[in-house]
Amino acid sequence: MKRDNKVRVLVGTRKGAYVVEGTAQRRKWTVGPVAHEGNEVYHVVADPRHPGDLYAAVNSGFWGPMVYRSRNFGKKWEEIPAPLMATSKSRTPAFDEQGNQNDVKRPIANIWHIEPGLASEPDVLYLGADPHLIFRSSDLGSSWEPIDAINNHPDRKNWGPGAGGACLHTILIDPRNAERLYIGMSAVGTFRTEDGGGHWAPKNKGVETPFLPEKFPETGQCVHHVAADSADPDTFYRQDHGGMYVSHNRMDSWTRIGKPLGDDFGFCVASPTSSPGRAYFVRLHGQARTTGEGHFQVYEWNDQRRAWRKLLSPKAFPGDYGVHREGIATDTLDPAGIYVGTTTGQLFVSPDAGKSWQLIPYGFPGIHSVSIANPAAT
Amino acid sequence: MGSEALRITPLPQKALSTIQRPKLAIRIRSRVDLQIQERTVPPPPNSGDRPRGGSRTAGRKRAGGASGSSGGTLEVHLDSWLREFGPRGSEQLQAGSVAELLDALEGKYPRLRFKIRDETGSLRRYVRIFVDGEDVSATTGVATPLEGAHSIDILHSIAGG
């Protein structure tokens, strides 16, 4: 499909997927089309290598997890194979015949994240699922190969689920090297591979686990989400159960940056292309899991100045809002657009890197994920 | 899938007053409703001896075991939600057990794979299978023999919110 100059906000909700279309000015928006009505949609993502292509992780409470693809920005969708489909009549799962590892005998519970590969690998997709599974497709989702070094990892017996499940929710690819991947798993932590998934090393040094007796274990951190810096692929921003962190060395070590905020709990983080060294977090009250200040707020981290800034006036949007791990996104325009979807169905948009904000006047179902299909590069 | 687009002006109050909401095709119907509305063939002759809907604890005891076809033709009814992935009407199949029936159904309609059963072969949590009106989902399940059976209903259970 031909590229156009529209910005499309892809919204995954408790009851379906929405495509919200806007102009490059990002002041007027059109809601629709809507798809997968009634199903939990944990993630919708655009494939920038193939304009118009969208992928949706659809988790039906009745029929299980499914993957759908659209070739026309969401006007029509087709179901494509989901991973873990057995090829033999015995219906044996495609991996884990040892029977002694943690919960890999149970079926795939939910699909959490779909990540298109680099432009140099135009047919590659990665997919993260519960229980702590990652798959790779080299044919745009027609088939999936399990990445055994994670899916059969010898330490799986020690990997437990978080409250949202045993989610593998974050997959990041080094833009300079398709063999270097990073993943984030709830209640396990972040891992890095340098050989395309053959070997993985835990990368959680410096991340605190306030919910475990050991303060800084090698694994067991409940990472909630990670965003890469657009200008420096060695720099990452991390929202963890144990606070907000930054790494400048490919996740070899992490430094906590959220302490000045007091409670630095939260689920989501994003870093815009047009503002390197900036990251946006939505701080939540650690127990209430809402913004907890009586209003909607986004915090900007300036990594050069090592300083925080609030982006909204307390009077702008009163209320207590929850935001899930995929609930914030930024676009590639300058100034950056910031988009935040809440668990109660509000979609907040800033078209100017946080200077002004609008609430899209449409009540969505509870929002799981927000991502952007960006317009053609200018 | 899909619905018509909705144009929104930047003024929330005005936009809300002129909003034309997209159609949301979320339909929640009870199991009983589905049985009544979707049954297309007369009930089997002995159905009057057994209450419709069956007991989840009753199980099902038939001669012939779980393997081998009974040789009889089964009338299979899928609820409307499942018809997205399978036959649009009823289906006539031969099978010796529920598992064999599902194998045959999935062979004919590949998109049904892993919708009724997960990849371990277990029935999904919110799927109900009725054999001649008796719910076998939580009792003999996919191993239920089908010798002498006439009618199979595959439905979703009451769930969600």
C-alpha A346/C-alpha A325 separation (Å) is 15
List residues of chain B with CB under 8 Å from any CB of chain A. Answer: 1-12, 15-16, 19, 22, 24-27, 81-82, 85, 103, 111, 113-122, 124, 126-127, 156, 159-160
**Edge-to-edge strands, sheet with A328-330:** A328-330, A338-341, A347-350, A358-359
Residue B87 in tokens:
């036959």
**Nearest residue of chain B to residue A77 (CA atoms):** B1
pLDDT tens sequence across B56-92: 334 455 544 444 444 589 999 999 999 999 999 999 9
C-alpha A5/C-alpha A19 separation (Å) is 15
Is residue B82 situated within a structural domain?
yes
Domains in chain A, number: 1
Which CATH number characterizes residue A354's domain?
A: 2.130.10.10
pLDDT of res. A226: 98
Using an 8 Å CB-CB cutoff, list chain A residues near B15.
Answer: 361
Whether the per-residue pLDDT at B98 is higher than 90: the answer is yes
C-alpha A347/C-alpha B105 separation (Å) is 42
Is residue A345 situated within a structural domain?
yes
Is residue A101 situated within a structural domain?
no
pLDDT tens sequence across B9-52: 443 333 333 334 343 333 323 222 222 233 333 333 333 333 33
C-alpha A43/C-alpha A21 separation (Å) is 17
Is residue B44 situated within a structural domain?
yes
Is residue A14 situated within a structural domain?
yes
B8, B82, B124 ranked by CB distance to A361: nearest = B8
A165: left (phi over 0), alpha (psi -120 to 50) or beta: left
pLDDT of res. A1: 77
Domains in chain B, number: 1
**Nearest residue of chain A to residue B123 (CA atoms):** A63
Is residue B59 situated within a structural domain?
yes
Instruction: Look at A79 and B121 and tell me if their CB atoms are within 8 Å.
Output: no
Which domain covers residue A34, as residue numbers? 7-85+106-373
Using an 8 Å CB-CB cutoff, list chain B residues near A359.
Answer: 12
Q: Which 3 state secondary structure label does DSSP give A373?
A: strand
Is residue A326 situated within a structural domain?
yes
Q: Strand pairing partners for A227?
A: A237
B138 Cβ neighbours under 8 A, 6+ residues apart: B56, B57
How many beta-carbon pairs under 8 angstroms link A with B? 103
C-alpha A310/C-alpha A262 separation (Å) is 14
Q: A132: buried, middle or exposed (CB in 10 Å: 19+, 13-18, 0-12)?
A: buried
Cα A235 to Cα A219, A251, A264, B69, B140, distances in angstroms = 20, 8, 19, 62, 55
pLDDT of res. A286: 92
Which domain covers residue B69, as residue numbers? 30-156
B8, B25, B120 ranked by CB distance to A31: nearest = B8
**Mean of the per-residue pLDDT values for chain B?**
69
- Does the beta carbon of A313 lie under 8 angstroms from any beta carbon of chain B? no
Is residue A267 situated within a structural domain?
yes
Is residue A44 situated within a structural domain?
yes
pLDDT of res. A377: 59
How far from each other are the two terminal CA atoms of chain B, in whole angstroms?
20
Q: Is the ipTM of this complex over 0.95?
A: no
Instruction: Look at B119 and A93 and tell me if their CB atoms are within 8 Å.
Output: yes
Is residue A122 situated within a structural domain?
yes
A30, A79, A107 ranked by CB distance to B7: nearest = A30
Is residue B16 situated within a structural domain?
no
**Nearest residue of chain A to residue B24 (CA atoms):** A37
Is residue B6 situated within a structural domain?
no
C-alpha B125/C-alpha B118 separation (Å) is 9
List the pLDDT tens digit at each of the 378 positions of chain A.
777 889 999 999 999 999 999 999 999 999 989 999 999 999 999 999 999 999 999 999 999 999 999 999 999 999 999 987 433 333 334 444 444 444 445 788 999 999 999 999 999 999 999 989 999 999 999 999 999 899 888 888 888 888 888 999 999 999 999 999 999 999 999 999 999 999 999 999 999 999 999 999 999 999 999 999 999 999 999 999 999 999 999 999 999 999 999 999 999 999 999 999 999 999 999 999 999 889 999 999 999 999 999 999 999 999 999 999 999 999 999 999 999 999 999 999 999 999 999 999 999 999 999 999 998 754
Label residues B92-106 b or e (16+ Cβ within 10 Å = b): ebebbbbbbbbbbbb
pLDDT of res. B43: 36
Residue B126 in tokens:
């919110």
pLDDT of res. B61: 52
Using an 8 Å CB-CB cutoff, list chain B residues near A79.
Answer: 111
Is residue B8 situated within a structural domain?
no
Pairing of strands A255-256, A64-70: unpaired
**Nearest residue of chain A to residue B155 (CA atoms):** A62
A15, A21, A33 ranked by CB distance to B3: nearest = A33
C-alpha B113/C-alpha B124 separation (Å) is 11
Q: Strand pairing partners for B155?
A: B128
Is residue A149 situated within a structural domain?
yes
Q: Which 3 state secondary structure label does DSSP give A248?
A: coil
Label residues A328-343 b or e (16+ Cβ within 10 Å = b): bbbbbbebbbbbbbbb
Is residue B1 situated within a structural domain?
no
pLDDT tens sequence across A207-237: 999 999 999 999 999 999 999 999 999 999 9
pLDDT of res. B7: 56
Is residue B19 situated within a structural domain?
no
Instruction: Look at B117 and A86 and tell me if their CB atoms are within 8 Å.
Output: no
Rounded to a whole number of angstroms, the distance from the CA of A9 to the nearest CA of chain B is 14
B5, B156, B159 ranked by CB distance to A30: nearest = B5
Which CATH number characterizes residue B78's domain?
A: 3.10.20.30
